[in-house]
Amino acid sequence: MQVHIKTYGCQMNERDSEIMGAVLKEKGWQICGNEEDADAIILNCCSVRDQAELKAIGKLQQLIKRKNEDENFLVGICGCMAENLGKELFRRIPKLNFIVGPRQIYRIGEAISLAIKGEKPAFLADADDVTCNCKNNKLHHRNLQELQSSAYVTISNGCNMRCSYCIVPKTRGRETSRPMEAILDEIQLLLESGIREITLLGQIVNFYGMGRFPMINGESPFVQLIRKIHNLKGLDRLRFLSPHPSGFRDDLICCFGDLPKLCPHVHLPIQSGSNRVLQLMRRPYQREKILEITQKLRQRIPLISISTDLIVGFPGETDDDFHETLCLFDEISFDMAYIFKYSRRSGTPAATMDNQVAQSICEERNQVLLEKLKHTSLERNRLFLNSIQPVLVEQHSKRDPNVLFGYTPHRKKTFFSAPSEMIGKIVSVRIQDVSTGCFIGTIIG
């Protein structure tokens, strides 16, 4: 029996798909890379914006047509959308076979077995047996690919913040942090099997272990963790996603520059540059804090790359508020930004706020920021022209099999011609051309 897993959404979902794949493999399923050969398809879906849900529902409807021709073919919904819409999904799509929320992913095998028997399991957070994957200290469910050089490691799951626009606290629940030893053991095994780059994942990574593990010498549990990981033999690169501006304190800032394997890239979601909007969003920091963090980081490492997430058109966002965001954008000069048009999520406080912003205004603000981003990212990328960068090689370019791509420590995607043997290695590349989104170079060793 073969199962195909299709992933939508963020890196947490990608990692969860890996875990589900490995759990199923243990139970005797084969994981297949294409939909056509699969006896079962799992859609691991995201709910963060309406568009993400619509995309998955569209795909689901397409798969249901296949079910009409082959009644043994199984389709399941997992991930944040499973949790958000719950059993309502069975009402909307009666032929759907199973639903598994993100806190129940270790039960994916059970869900499919029940579905084969004709039942319709829905394993959600409120089911009797909640198995939080972060409490699971065993390793760690991996199917490492040949030549894979980087891996995600989930250090915490869930979120205790209550940002007024966000569905994630509902879908992933309260924050749980894994024990430090379990994380270190997992990373040690990854390094022994040839992984060179680790990306730590959590809804708010820098809140890792807060209140559960003590501060030591003024260092937060997260900083203690990254310092310990940094000492592990075999590690070349360490990254993390996503930190929150609150709690991005000097102990963390000092790691940049102090720890050579900690990559000079920070993804720092700011959401807005207007203090008034930040307050409405229930983001507990102000624009001054964002400026302070970014300035301190650039004082330590002038070329450090800084990316962000921003929402335009949050309810009540005025032209003046948007202007504040534009000014902050100018002041920081982000290397990269993911700009989202506000999407109303039912059940969140912002969904019922007055002054919802018209779609046309969201669109306009989105375009203005994208235009600005084009300039700042090109300007930042030009700083690397003619430099030699170590590139961790990932894969062949889709367009040209003679071209490979990989990432620099600053997380700049870099293309260059080289033989396939270079995949998985760190090579030196001279950067000869840059665009807003990538580098092009020549391998020099």
Residue (46 or 434) nearer to ligand F3S, CB: 46
What is the closest distance, in whole angstroms, from the C-beta atom of residue 165 to ligand SF4 in the complex?
A: 7
271 binds ligand F3S per the rule CB under 6 A: no
Q: Please give the angle made by the CA atoms of 199, 301 and 310, to the nearest 5 degrees.
A: 60
Instruction: Kindly state the smallest distance separating residue 342's Cβ from ligand F3S, in Å.
Output: 15
Minimum gap (Å) between residue 435 Cβ and ligand F3S: 27
Judge contact between 407 and 363, C-beta under 8 A.
Answer: no
The residue from 64, 161, 232, 426 that contacts ligand SF4 (CB under 6 A) is 161
Q: Among 84, 199, 203, 381, which residue interacts with ligand SAH (rule: CB under 6 A)?
A: 203
**For 12, how many CA atoms within 13 A lie in the half-sphere containing its CB?**
28
151 Cα distance to chain centroid: 12
Q: What number of other Cβ atoms are within 10 A of residue 270's Cβ?
A: 26
Applying CB under 6 A, among 108, 168, 277, 362 the residue interacting with ligand F3S is 168
User: What's the CA gap between 21 and 145, in Å, rounded?
Assistant: 12
Read off the tokens for 69.
């021709």
Q: Please state, as a whole number, how many other Cβ atoms lie within 10 Å of the Cβ of residue 408.
A: 22
Q: Contact between 48 and ligand SAH (CB under 6 A)?
A: yes
Query: How many other CB atoms are there within 10 angstroms of residue 368's CB atom?
Result: 16
Q: How far is Cα 445 from Cα 428, in angstroms, rounded to an integer?
A: 5
In whole angstroms, what is the distance from residue 336 CA to residue 305 CA?
8
Binding flag, residue 79, ligand F3S (CB under 6 A): yes
For position 269 contacting ligand SAH by CB under 6 A, the verdict is yes
Asked if 41 is part of the footprint of ligand F3S (rule: CB under 6 A), the reply reads no
Q: Give dist(CA 110, CA 117) in Å, integer.
A: 11
d(CA 62, CA 64): 5
Considering CB under 6 A, how many residues would be counted as binding ligand F3S?
Answer: 13
Residue 46 binding ligand F3S, by CB under 6 A: yes
Q: Which is nearer to ligand SF4, 162 or 323 (CB)?
A: 162
Binding of ligand SF4 by 159 (CB under 6 A): yes
DSSP reduced 3-state for 58: helix
Under rule CB under 6 A, which residues in 323-342 are in contact with ligand SAH?
340, 342
Residue 80 contacts ligand F3S per CB under 6 A:
yes
Q: Which does 268 bind (CB under 5 to 8 A by kind): ligand F3S, ligand SAH, ligand SF4, none?
A: none
Secondary structure class of 441 (helix, strand, coil): strand
Judged by CB under 6 A, which of 274, 343, 377, 408 binds ligand SAH?
Answer: 343
Beta-strand runs (E) in 329-421: 336-341, 388-396, 403-407, 413-417
Does 210 contact ligand SF4 by CB under 6 A?
A: no
Of these partners, ligand SF4, ligand F3S, ligand SAH, none, which one is at the site of residue 306 (CB under 5 to 8 Å by kind)? none
Question: Which residues, other chains included, contact 338 with Cβ-Cβ below 8 Å and sequence gap of 6+?
Answer: 307, 308, 309, 310
Q: Which stretch binds ligand F3S (CB under 6 A): 45-53, 124-132, 175-183, 234-242?
A: 45-53
Residue numbers at the binding site for ligand SAH (CB under 6 A): 48-49, 165-166, 168, 203-204, 242, 244, 269, 271, 309, 311, 340, 342-343, 345
Residue numbers at the binding site for ligand SF4 (CB under 6 A): 159, 161, 163, 166, 168-169, 203-204, 244
